[in-house]
Structure 1
Amino acid sequence: MSISLQKNQTVSLAKEAPSLTTLHIGLGWDPIKKKGGFLGGLLGGGGADSIDLDASVIVADGNKRIIDEVWFRKLSSNDGSIKHSGDNLTGEGDGDDEYIRVDLTRLSKDAAHIVVTVNSFRGQTFNEVDNAFCRLVDEKTGKEICRYELREKGSNTGFVMAAISRDGNGWSVKALGAPTNGRTVKDLAAPALNLI
């Protein structure tokens, strides 16, 4: 059964999924439904606009130095252990809008942290976003290990969603849900590293 994470809660992936080798990081969101009524709909005020959020990961070493970044402009890590699904420009549809796969067996031994971020490339704020989530799935079994539902709204254009970190006992995940601003992962890197 999947664990529903609360903000700042940490879960041991080694304990919850001891045979985990490939991690699926799924992120999803919906455009917030606008109220407009019949006349508003005729004049373009009803319905929902598409939201172009971008899921990314920052890989850092134990000293919080960036080793790599994977995002819509760089769909694979330098060592090939991390792959991005590609850019979703709308947020429409059910399930994961974007996902990132991490082969933990091929990940650099220097990688101590994988920080998951989401940002609005077009500058739309999270006041315009609904039902945002981040979930971790054991790729081999298809079992959802945990899920973090982002309930916060705000005028920010990004969130540092979670940090997946390695220690002597294996990997763990911490739900962060920290608001920040930026149009790409490059803008979110400094605040993200301050949270791990």
Structure 2
Amino acid sequence: MSVNLQKGQKISLDKEAGSALSRVVMGLGWDAVKSKGFFGFGGSRADIDLDASCVLFDTNNRPLDVVWFRQLKSRDGSVNHSGDNRTGAGDGDDEQISVALSQVPADVKSIVFTVNSFTGQSFAQVENAYCRLINAADGKEVARFNLSVQGNHSAQIMAKLYRHNGEWKMHAIGENGTGRTFDDLLPQIAVHLN
């Protein structure tokens, strides 16, 4: 049973999954808004290149590593990106980032997931956008967060996985931003690290 998260909501991953999670997958999916054709017929979809990224932070809230379409694996190997999807075409997750929670180095306090429109389009041109957390062991969805708040933003800080009292938790952040890559969001992310 998946939890539909609301902006700002926090959950315990193990509690929601019903067992200790060792590996999770953050999936990102989206579609381009279909344009209206002549008299409302024959519309088309423009390609929109949304990029999922994640930044690993230490206990002093300093970035330690990043996983994105230009670096598909963290230096320690605990986080892996499925690769760049430049259109959002097709069903299901368009990009995925898997995290081996049990292998994340002890000095990593939090992992923040972002999504950016690399092509610069705003979310007004995106629909059906979501991120979801999946238990990699059984493929079951643990939590889902709807990102389809349309607007002039070109990026969003989706969610944060963080350690608290020896267990991993998830915080659905859902804060809109601007920028083509995660770098542009780092000042905004800093607010959500404590």
TM bin, normalised by shorter chain, reads over 0.9
Deviations 1:2-49 (A, max 9, x none): 0110111111112123320011110000001111236974xxxx2110
In the aligned structure 1, how far is the partner of 2:137 from the partner of 2:190? Answer: 29
Partner residue, 2:6? 6
**More displaced 10-residue stretch of structure 1: 94-103 or 150-159:** 150-159
Aligned length: 192
In the aligned structure 2, how far is the partner of 1:169 from the partner of 1:69? Answer: 23
Partner residue, 2:16? 16
Contact 1:12 1:172 in 2 (8 A): yes
Runs of 4+ in 1 over 4 A off after TM superposition: 38-41
In the aligned structure 2, how far is the partner of 1:134 from the partner of 1:76? Answer: 19
State the superposition RMSD in angstroms: 1.4
Amino acid at match of 2:25: H
In the aligned structure 1, how far is the partner of 2:38 from the partner of 2:169? Answer: 46
In the aligned structure 2, how far is the partner of 1:40 from the partner of 1:111? Answer: 51
In the aligned structure 2, how far is the partner of 1:16 from the partner of 1:153? Answer: 29
Q: Percent same amino acid among aligned pairs?
A: 48
Q: TM-score, normalised by structure 1?
A: 0.94
Contact 1:14 1:169 in 2 (8 A): no
SS in 1 for 2:85: coil
Unaligned stretches of 5+ in structure 1?
A: none
Q: TM-score, normalised by structure 2?
A: 0.95
In the aligned structure 1, how far is the partner of 2:29 from the partner of 2:53? Answer: 12
In the aligned structure 2, how far is the partner of 1:193 from the partner of 1:86? Answer: 26
Amino acid at match of 1:25: M
Unaligned stretches of 5+ in structure 2?
A: none
Partner residue, 2:31? 30
SS in 2 for 1:179: strand
**Aligned with residue 85 of structure 1, among 69, 79, 82:** 82
Amino acid at match of 2:26: I
In the aligned structure 2, how far is the partner of 1:194 from the partner of 1:157? Answer: 19
